Copies of this chain bind each other. A is one copy, B any other.
Amino acid sequence: MAYPHVIVVGGGFAGLYASRVFADQPVKVTVVDRANYHLFQPLLYQVATAGLSAPDIASPIRHLTAKAPNIEVRLAEVTRVDLANKKVSLREASGDDQQLSYDFLLLAAGVRHSYFGHDDWEEFAPGLKSLDDALEIRRRVLLAFEAAETCEDPAHRDALLTFVVVGGGPTGVELAGALGELSRFTVARDFRAIDPTRAKIILVEAGPRILSGFPEKLSTAAQFSLRELGVDVRVGTAVSDITADGVHTANGFIASRTVLWGAGVAAAPLTKTLGVELDRAGRVKVEKDLSIPGHPEAFVVGDLAAFPTADGRGLPGVAQVAIQGGRFAARQILATLDKQPRAGFVYNDKGNMATIGRASGLAHIGRIQLSGFLGWLGWLLVHLVFLIGFRNRLQVLLEWAWAWFTFQRGARLILGQSSLPPSKKP
C-alpha cells in the first residue's frame, strides 16, 4: 500500500520541524526548497556584519533529514499550487518544470522583505532574508570603508562613512548594533586615512519607539545600549525616498552610500496562485487548525499564515511561531490519518529576545524582563541551544568566544564584485 504523500513547501523553521514530526511515520514526505540549506535566521545579521561565516548558521536540509528514509528533499522553486487538484508545480535545479500530486500540503514558504510598493528602493537598500542577502550586505559595508579610505572629497567620504538602517524592529536593531561594534572596535585600527570609529550609524524608525513588540522599558534600554555603541536612533522618522545618494525622511535628507532595509515583509508571491483570501501582507487567512478554509488537507504555517487571534493582530513572525505551527500542523495530518479529530492551534509564547552589540541584550519571557548583560546572556543561551546541529553550535560558540575576547570578527571578506555601484552625483 502506498503511503499518503505530504508535500512540505519550505525548509525553514516551520517546514523543518514539521518534517521531523513525520520522520518514520506512515507518510511519504517531500520537502521542497529553492535553497539547499536550512537557515538559522535569527543569526543572519551576524553573517551580514562579518561576525559569522555562512556555513556557521546553515545546514543542508538533506543532511538534517537524511536519517528518515520516508523523507525526500527537492531543490526546486514552487511556482504554483493547485488546491482543487492537489498539485504543486515546481521548477527544478535542472531547469525542468514538474508537477507533484499530494494528499496533504504544508505551505511554509515564508516571507521576503517588502518595500511598501517602492520596489525601486531595493537596489539601494538591500534587505536581510537569505544568506545571499547577508553576503551582499557584508560586501557593501566593507567596501564602503575601503572606498572611504581613498576618497579625497570630504562630502563623499562622509556619505561613505554613513550607514543608515531603516526599521527599528529586531532585525534593524541587531544590524545597527553590530555595525556600531564593527566600526568602533573591529576595524578601528585597520585604516590610515579614515577613522572608522567616527562612522555614523543611523537607525531610522517611523513609529514612536524601536522594538515596539517589547515592553516600553526594554525599548528604552535598547535605545540606551545602541547609543553606547554610537548608533544615532531617530524615531518618528518616516522614510519618503531612497536613492543611490541617501535617504529622504520626513525630517530631512541623510547622505549615505550604504542603506540597509529592515522595515517590512510580505508573503511569498506563491500565495497569489492559491485563489484564497489573503491579508494585506499577502498572508493566507487560515482556520484555527492552520488549514486553508475549505481545504482541510492544506495547511499554512509560519510567517505565511494569518492566524485568527482574539485581538485580530495575528501571530508575530518569529521562529517560535513557525516551529510550534509546523509541529502542530504535522500532528494534525497524522491525527487525520488516524481518524482523530482536529485541535485548534494555541501559541505558547516563550518570550522575545534581541541583542545589541557585544554584551547587551533584551529578553522578555513571561513576567521576566531582562536588559543589559543579563539579557545578553539569556539571548546567548537560547540561541546556542536552538542552533540546528551540534557542529554549528560548537563552531558558533568558538567564533563568539574569539570575537568577544579579541574584538575581532572573523568573516571580513569581500566576495563577488569588489567595486561599489556608482553614485548618481559626479
Question: Taking beta carbons and an 8 Å cutoff, which residues of A are in contact with B?
Answer: 34-37, 53-56, 58, 60, 62-63, 66-67, 69, 72-76, 92-96, 98, 131-132, 135, 142-143, 146-147, 149-151, 160, 187, 189-193, 391-392, 394-395, 398-399, 402, 406, 408, 410-416, 418-420, 422
Contact = CB atoms under 8 A, between A and B. Distances in A.
Contact of A150 (B35, B67, B76): B76
A219 to B, nearest CB: 34
Nearest to A416: B132
A63 B412 contact: yes
Contact of A408 (B54, B63, B75): B63
A190 B59 CA distance: 12
B94 A36 contact: no
B398 A36 contact: no
A95 B422 CA distance: 7
Contacts of A392: 410
B146 A413 contact: no
Nearest to A94: B147
B35 A414 contact: yes
A217 B123 CA distance: 57
A302 to B, nearest CB: 21
Given A35-B418, A53-B54, A96-B150, 20 more contacts: A35-B414, A36-B413, A36-B414, A37-B412, A37-B413, A53-B53, A55-B410, A60-B190, A67-B189, A73-B190, A74-B150, A92-B147, A93-B147, A94-B147, A95-B419, A95-B420, A391-B402, A394-B402, A395-B398, A395-B410
A69 B193 CA distance: 11
Nearest to A188: B66
Contacts of A150: 74, 76, 92-94, 96, 98
A411 B75 CA distance: 17
Q: Which of A54, A402, A415, A422 has the most CB of B within 10 A?
A: A415
Nearest to A142: B36
Contacts of A413: 36-37, 54-55, 58, 60, 131
Top 5 A-B residue pairs of the complex, sorted by shortest distance between their CB atoms: A94-B147, A62-B190, A55-B411, A75-B146, A53-B53
A416 B147 CA distance: 25
Contacts of A415: 54, 131-132, 135
Nearest to A71: B192
A229 to B, nearest CB: 21
Nearest to A392: B410
B60 A418 contact: no
A135 B72 CA distance: 26
Contacts of A192: 69, 72
A61 to B, nearest CB: 9
A37 to B, nearest CB: 5
B149 A74 contact: yes
A408 B420 contact: no
